[in-house]
């Protein structure tokens, strides 16, 4: 997921997407441990997407505090 797309999304949508990505990461890790993955790089991509979303959410919270 590109950072531009993430920044366009609203905070509730990002929270929802974050939950979905975390569950996907769990499934990928479980699959890797049990029978292996076709594309192990998918785990890295999902982790980076989670980090991007967390960064944008943190930026928004800081901007909100600064605005008060």
Domain ranges of the chain: 3-67
Give the DSSP H or E segment for 4: helix 3-8
Rounded CA gap, 22 and 3, in Å?
A: 18
CATH of domain 3-67: 1.10.287.310
For residue 55, give the 3-state DSSP assignment.
Answer: helix
Q: What pLDDT does residue 1 have? A: 81
Q: What is the mean pLDDT of the chain?
A: 94
Kindly state the DSSP code that residue 41 receives in the 8-state scheme. H
Q: Is the dihedral of CA 39, 41, 46, 49 positive or negative?
A: negative
Q: Is the pLDDT assigned to residue 30 strictly greater than 90?
A: yes
pLDDT per position as a tens digit, 31-64 = 999 988 899 999 999 999 999 999 999 999 999 9
């Amino acid at each position: 997921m590109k950072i531009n797309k993430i920044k366009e999304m609203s905070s509730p949508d990002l929270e929802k997407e974050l939950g979905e990505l975390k569950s996907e990461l769990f499934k990928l890790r479980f699959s890797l441990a049990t029978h292996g993955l076709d594309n192990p790089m998918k785990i890295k991509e999902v982790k980076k997407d989670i980090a991007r979303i967390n960064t944008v959410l943190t930026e928004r919270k800081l901007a909100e505090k600064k605005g008060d």
